[in-house]
Structure 1
């Protein structure tokens, strides 16, 4: 079984990925589109990702992007949050 990555490191990676992709996590939470459990699932998925170093490099050189990299385990979650926000919650 793969050991999960550091919780704090992956919290910040997930936050940075959300910001880079224009995913408003606070807005989604406030609108009721993101629960605490869903946010925890995003962090845990990030912790289990094998692409941490690649993710850090990608985030370091990418100011904004329409989507997270295809290999990001949260690519779909971020897309759903943005789509929900575009529909007005």
Structure 2
């Protein structure tokens, strides 16, 4: 996968994982709970993960959403921090 395609793929995986566990990344950016640099790092961590197929399969099974990201998710700590009350 070319770099731009890989980045786009992992951008959407990051968005999807966040949405699946009830995190709105755009709201977190807008209200200052996460900076743009922190978000870029999160997408980069996702890019370095070799479980995208497993990730997509897991998200596909979470039709009602999920309380937490799976333990193997590279961005789980950052996403779960965003779920904590402000």
Q: TM-score, normalised by structure 1?
A: 0.86
Deviations along 1:49-73, whole A, 9 cap, x unmatched?
0111100111111120011100001
Please name the residue that 2:41 is paired with.
41
Aligned: 1:29 with 2:29: yes
Q: Deviation above 6 Å: which 4+ runs of structure 1?
A: none
Q: C-alpha root-mean-square deviation of aligned residues, in Å?
A: 1.4
The separation in 2 between residues aligned to 1:69 and 1:27, in whole angstroms, is 22
Deviations along 1:6-56, whole A, 9 cap, x unmatched?
000000010000000001211111111111101101100000001111001
Unaligned runs of 5+ in 2: none
Unaligned runs of 5+ in 1: none
The separation in 2 between residues aligned to 1:59 and 1:46, in whole angstroms, is 14
